[in-house]
Amino acid sequence: MRQIPTSRADAVECDRADPLAARHGLFNLPDGIAYLVGHSLGPPPATAGARLNAAMQDWQSDLVRSWNSAGWIDLSERTGGQIAALIGAEPGEVIVADSVSVNLFKLAAAALPLARRYVLFVEEDEFPTDQYIAAGLAGVSGAEVRRLPSGGTFDALNAGGVYLKSAVNYRSAEVADIAAHEREAAAHGALILWDLSHATGVLDLALKADGARLAAGCTYKYLNGGPGAPAFVYAAHDIAGLLRTPLPGWMGHAAPFAFDGGYTPREGAARFASGTPPILSLAALSGALEAMDGAPLSALQAKARALSAMAIARVQAMGLEVLSPVEDAKRGGHVSVRMAEGYPVVQALAARGVMADFRAPDTVRFGFSPLFLRYAAVWDALDALADILASKSWDQPQFHARAKVT
């Protein structure tokens, strides 16, 4: 059984034995910062900046010729291939394009005609975007939307519709059993659209082996692709050819530069490309993904869960209510804690160099990105939390002032 550090000395020993320790040097975080929000926006690895600078040089030197000379035209697919390796998918099953919201809409719309019933299902505590997309799609497609209780997707799969479901819940970090859900879905003519935003890069995902057929996810959290980095689409080979995107843009055409007035989709997930790809953002993302090259997914998952287990033990000792599963196998890469005074506590932590995030009405989230965090730094951050709570130093006017982004 893995031992949870119970002292700072234990945490230092874990750092010495960390198989991912060499990755820390790829991230140039400001001095004195404990960055516990990698589940919200990952920091930039040096490899991201290098690729971005190279793309800028290509733009300056070769101008429009860079689409061919620098291979820009294939960058969405190449970057999709990098992500495929992180989610257990095959080449051609992933493409980077658009945002998570747009990709959820495209995939759900394409899936509806293939499901046994023309109904969309979404849980009531699903990430708001997923709920909004389901309602918006219903408004233009005539599909019915049914809201499910938290955790209710599995029991509702016998209805045979299209289900929007996060692999890791954004608030609690609870992990869904993808394989079990997919077996049940296959038995009832249902299709699940997985939102992998809080799972990719921190869990040992195996979509193909688990029978997953459709997914979308963001790239700016554990993948460190940068603010607003483009999202990705996963469509398994056995279903991709049956899907018709509701946004058939020219980059999803089999021959975009034939300028044909009729639409012929590309093979595989690439048919979900729409407009011209954002090359500079893609370049940064592709470089960021290089920081994960060769890192075993099992090691990433194990470290994230070890860090979060240490955090759970410590916040429970402070008398705080943990909203995330205590059992490792059921927990993603972040830990959520209920605090009525959560917002000012997060601001007080930031003043001490500890970055966390707040989710209304009373949730504080701590993210444990395994690539750049050290056990000792997390231990020290939790020391700061304990002191802030004990001293009530969070109760100052400047910490209560609300910013737009929490």
**Residue range 63-90: mean pLDDT, rounded:** 98
What tokens does 230 get? 């483009």
Closest among 330, 297, 309 to 382, alpha carbons compared: 309
Q: How far is CA 353 from CA 23, 340, 349, 381, 384, in A?
A: 21, 22, 6, 8, 9
Does residue 159 register a pLDDT over 90? yes
CATH fold group of domain 49-290: Aspartate Aminotransferase; domain 2 (3.40.640)
Q: If DSSP codes are grouped into helix, strand and coil, which group holds residue 363?
A: strand
**Four-CA torsion 206, 208, 211, 217, nearest 10 degrees:** 70
Helix orientation angle between 128-141 and 100-111, rounded to the nearest 10 degrees: 40
Q: Please, which residues bridge with residue 335 across strands?
A: 366
Given the residues 27, 105, 121, 220, select the one marked as catalytic.
220
Cα separation of 212 and 93, whole Å? 11
Given the residues 171, 208, 221, 303, select the one marked as catalytic.
221
Instruction: Give residues with Cβ within 8 angstroms of 182, minimum separation 6.
Output: 192, 210, 211, 212, 213
Domain range list for the chain: 8-45+296-400, 49-290
Q: Is-catalytic flag, 303?
A: no
Does residue 2 register a pLDDT over 90? no
Task: Give the model's pLDDT for residue 28.
Answer: 87
Chain-centroid distance, C-alpha 313: 25
Percent of the chain with pLDDT over 70: 99
Tens digit of pLDDT for each residue in 328-354? 999 999 999 999 999 999 999 999 999
| DSSP state letters, 93-118 | SEEE-S-HHHHHHHHHHHHGGGSSSS
Cα separation of 367 and 334, whole Å? 4
Q: Look at the block and give the residue holding tokens 């444990």.
A: 368
What tokens does 105 get? 């809409």
Does residue 1 register a pLDDT over 50? no
Helix orientation angle between 46-62 and 279-290, rounded to the nearest 10 degrees: 140
Cα separation of 348 and 354, whole Å? 9
**Residue range 122-130: mean pLDDT, rounded:** 97
Task: Give the model's pLDDT for residue 406.
Answer: 84
Given the residues 27, 127, 163, 358, select the one marked as catalytic.
127
Q: Is the peptide bond before 248 cis (omega within 30 degrees of 0)?
A: no
**Residue range 14-41: mean pLDDT, rounded:** 95
Cα separation of 74 and 152, whole Å? 40
Task: Give the model's pLDDT for residue 102.
Answer: 98
pTM here is 0.96
Given the residues 305, 314, 365, 374, select the one marked as catalytic.
365
Tens digit of pLDDT for each residue in 209-248? 999 999 999 999 999 999 999 999 999 999 999 999 999 9
Q: Does domain 8-45+296-400 correspond to CATH entry 3.90.1150.10?
A: yes
Within 10 angstroms of residue 31's Cβ, the number of other Cβ atoms is: 6
Within 10 angstroms of residue 380's Cβ, the number of other Cβ atoms is: 16
Given the residues 125, 195, 305, 399, select the one marked as catalytic.
195
Q: Is-catalytic flag, 127?
A: yes
Instruction: Give residues with Cβ within 8 angstroms of 212, minimum separation 6.
Output: 178, 182, 192, 194, 234, 236
Task: Give the model's pLDDT for residue 358.
Answer: 96
Does residue 11 register a pLDDT over 60? yes
Q: Is-catalytic flag, 195?
A: yes
What tokens does 284 get? 């940064």
Tens digit of pLDDT for each residue in 245-303? 999 999 999 999 999 999 999 999 999 999 999 999 999 999 999 999 999 999 999 99
The helix or strand, by DSSP H or E, that contains position 381, with its residue range, turns out to be: helix 375-391
Tens digit of pLDDT for each residue in 165-179? 999 999 999 999 999
Mean of the per-residue pLDDT values of the chain: 96
Instruction: Give residues with Cβ within 8 angstroms of 362, minimum separation 6.
Output: 338, 339, 340, 342
Contact status, residue 73 vs residue 251, Cβ threshold 8 Å: no
**Residue range 314-323: mean pLDDT, rounded:** 97
